[in-house]
Amino acid sequence: MSEHRNPDLENKAVFTSRSMKFGIPTRVFVAIVVVVAFSSFVCWSYLPKLIGIPVSIVLALVIFIPAYLAHKVDPDAYILWIRSLWADSRLTTLRSHKRPMLVLVPGPGGEYIAQPTSTGSTR
């Protein structure tokens, strides 16, 4: 019996054509380059050159390395992050949840125990 194949059930490579620069999505890379360029210009303009150049290099590394590491695992994560910034649930003050606050206190034997904080006033 011949094997029947349904073309609708085949895996489609939809997200394989990503535009990446140095392991970072191009849109994120361009935004980082603009921020680093502007901050480097400000550092070089207002700080002495011996301080401004190293500060600019450190700033560039502080921005590029986390962006590279974050997008190494999931190159499309920035899309979800940008959408979550403007989600309706984040832009409202109507939803507030009272959450219990736990404090770790040292217990017997050097182990820590989670205890709820008191709800009364501390004054």
Residue 34 confidence (pLDDT): 94
Average confidence (pLDDT) over 19-46: 87
Residue 37 confidence (pLDDT): 94
Q: What is the mean pLDDT of the chain?
A: 78
pLDDT bucket at 1, cuts 50 / 70 / 90: very low
**Dihedral Cα 100, 106, 107, 109, nearest 10 deg:** 150
Highest-pLDDT range among 50-54, 76-80, 117-121? 50-54
